[in-house]
Amino acid sequence: MSLPYAWKEAGKLTLPVMFGYLPLGAAYGILAVEVGVPWWAAVMMSLVIYAGAGQFLAVALLAAGAGLMELAVATLMLNSRHLFYGLSLLKRFQGAGWRKPYLIFALTDETYSLITTLPAERAGDQALAFRVSLLNQAWWVLGSIAGVLAGTTLAFDSRGIEFALTALFIVLTLEQARRLRRWLPFAIALFTGLGALLLLPDRHLLLGAIGAASLILLLHYRLGRKPEACA
């Protein structure tokens, strides 16, 4: 496969993420400028932290005068779901060589979704995963730069732009459902998500839903192996 075609393929795969990351990155850039973060620091966060929701949380906490320890704990709680992402990709990233550190660094929710829904014959293509990861970060950085520029030169009402992230997750979930054609993981996600929403405070909602879903999937896996063990 020629190099231009390889990047074209990755670009096509990342189009849904681009349409989410550009406006969402812009919203982050605008917010960062509004709360007093220097424009260069806002852009550097997208380059060296690249945490999406974590960056929104960081600028909000910095604006509220939170300390570094509070910021570190809150970010760890928010991004704890990445522990599960990494465990599920251990085999897929084996043999990635020099690409592996960046693949780990750039593993956002959206990148994980794209990598895990690649066709079976491309599932072990670390070069494709690398290009997808790099392009996704490029969309986020470009959005952040656009937001910083807009925040420093324009005055406009940006309410509601953060919904781009929710819309992006919906699109990616539907895409996974279409490709996998398995109802159980999505039913578990819906059940645990609604349960966490009803029973847990906002700060524990995401971690509680992920933990509950993981326990249910583990139980299902163990029960599914019992007949084999008895055979």
Q: What are 136-173's pLDDT values in tens digits?
A: 999 999 999 999 998 888 776 656 655 655 665 676 67
State if pTM tops 0.75.
Answer: no
DSSP one-letter string for 168-213:
HHHHHHHHHHHHH--SHHHHHHHHHHHHHHHHS-HHHHHHHHHHHH
Cα–Cα distance between 27 and 56 in angstroms, integer?
Answer: 9
The C-alpha atoms of residue 116 and residue 30 are separated, in whole angstroms, by 32
pLDDT at position 165, please?
A: 56
pLDDT recorded at residue 227: 47
Name the token pair of 18.
């681009």
Predicted confidence at residue 228, as pLDDT, reads 45
pLDDT at 197: 85
pLDDT score at 50: 92
The token pair at 95 is: 């043999």
pLDDT at position 18 is: 93
Ranges of the chain whose pLDDT falls below 70: 1, 66, 70, 74, 77-78, 156-169, 171-172, 175-176, 179-180, 203, 206, 225-231
198-211 as b/e: b if 16+ CB within 10 A: eeeeeeebbebbbb
Identify whether the C-beta of residue 55 lies closer than 8 Å to the C-beta of residue 27: no
Residue 116's Cβ-count burial label (10 Å; 0-12, 13-18, 19+) is: middle
Return the pLDDT at 213. 81
pLDDT at 229 (0 to 100): 43
- The per-residue pLDDT for 203 is 66
